[in-house]
């Protein structure tokens, strides 16, 4: 099937088209301008491909975990386009996108979750799919879920911000660390096609972000109890 993919859960904004097994994409470091950029990216991709929304079979989006604002933007845009085109929607895990991008077989995808936490999971490749050993969760890096054996690849901004703690947690188990990887619409497209093939598409009104944290900020007392981490910088996106 042909589909549109959207990813806005990090500082990067990206859109991709899966057309007959070929992926075309646009990307830009957006800061907090995702809502300004994403629709023009989509319009540009469709125009370059000579395609219309009605030519597609579905819309996939990076559902989280990640920036609260970012995953809501992706979900809202996906819903709006799907309503307009009468298309189904597939929600794709941002952590599974990192695993897919790593090219590895045993992956610990991890994103910085601010306020001293990380979003993290563990998964292993099975043929062209992924088997989840630990579902996405939010935790302190020192309490990241344990994994069996060695040969694991750690990836994502969690390893950039909390690299020392995570390397200590997985001492002797990491074969490589790829902290520069970010969730991207390329991988959303690939995983979205597989999701639709497994019948995981839903109607637009049932599409929803993946939230693994209910709170985006801590009180002064809560910060003190957790070790007095400094609050996020003023104006920073809630994560």
* Residues 71-122: tens digit of each pLDDT: 999 999 999 999 999 999 999 999 999 999 999 999 999 999 999 999 999 9
Judge whether 130 lies within some domain: yes
- Whether the per-residue pLDDT at 31 is higher than 50: the answer is yes
Same structural domain for residues 79 and 107?
A: no
Same structural domain for residues 78 and 126?
A: no
pLDDT in tens, 166-218: 999 999 999 999 999 999 999 999 999 999 999 999 999 999 999 998 655 44
Please check whether residue 100 is in contact with residue 190, taking contact to mean a CB–CB distance below 8 angstroms. Answer: yes
The per-residue pLDDT of the chain, averaged, comes to 91
pLDDT score at 230? 40
pLDDT score at 232? 38
- Whether the per-residue pLDDT at 10 is higher than 90: the answer is yes
pLDDT score at 218? 45
pLDDT score at 134? 98
Same structural domain for residues 139 and 155?
A: yes
Q: Which of the 8 DSSP states describes residue 179?
A: T
Judge whether 38 lies within some domain: yes
pLDDT score at 227? 52
The residue range of the domain holding 114 is 95-178
Per the DSSP assignment, residues forming a β-bridge with 132 are 123
Match 């075309």 to its residue by tokens.
24
Domain count, the chain: 2
Token representation of residue 161: 């911000």
pLDDT score at 214? 66
Judge whether 104 lies within some domain: yes
Token representation of residue 170: 């997985």
Judge whether 221 lies within some domain: no
Judge whether 101 lies within some domain: yes
- Whether the per-residue pLDDT at 164 is higher than 90: the answer is yes
- Whether the per-residue pLDDT at 219 is higher than 70: the answer is no
pLDDT score at 128? 86
Same structural domain for residues 11 and 64?
A: yes
Cα 201 from chain centroid? 17
Match 């809560």 to its residue by tokens.
222
What's 173's domain CATH number? 3.30.420.40
pLDDT score at 180? 98
d(CA 213, CA 116): 13
d(CA 126, CA 198): 15
Same structural domain for residues 63 and 120?
A: no
Judge whether 224 lies within some domain: no
pLDDT score at 221? 45
pLDDT in tens, 115-154: 999 999 999 999 889 999 999 999 999 999 999 999 999 9
Same structural domain for residues 53 and 125?
A: no
Same structural domain for residues 48 and 156?
A: no
pLDDT score at 213? 84
């Amino acid at each position: 099937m042909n589909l549109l993919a959207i990813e806005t859960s990090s500082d990067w904004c990206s859109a991709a088209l899966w057309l007959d097994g070929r992926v075309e994409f646009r990307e830009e470091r957006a800061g907090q301008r995702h809502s300004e950029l994403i629709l023009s990216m989509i319009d540009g991709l469709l125009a370059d491909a000579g395609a219309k929304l009605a030519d597609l079979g579905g819309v996939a989006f990076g559902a989280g975990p990640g920036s609260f604002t970012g995953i809501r933007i992706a979900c809202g845009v996906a819903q709006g386009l799907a309503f307009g085109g009468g298309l189904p929607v597939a929600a794709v895990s941002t952590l599974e996108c990192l695993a897919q991008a790593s090219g590895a077989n045993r992956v610990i995808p991890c994103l910085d979750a601010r306020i001293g936490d990380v979003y993290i999971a563990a998964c292993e490749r099975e043929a062209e799919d992924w088997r989840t050993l630990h579902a996405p969760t939010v935790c302190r890096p020192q309490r990241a879920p344990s994994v069996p054996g060695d040969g694991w690849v750690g990836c994502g901004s969690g390893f950039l911000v909390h690299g020392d703690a995570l390397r200590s947690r997985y001492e002797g188990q990491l074969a490589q660390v790829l902290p520069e990887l970010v969730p991207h619409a390329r991988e959303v497209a690939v995983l979205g096609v597989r999701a639709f093939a497994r019948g995981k598409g839903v109607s637009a009104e049932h599409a929803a972000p993946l939230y693994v944290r209910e709170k985006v900020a801590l009180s002064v007392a809560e910060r003190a109890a957790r070790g007095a981490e400094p609050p996020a910088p003023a104006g920073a996106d809630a994560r």
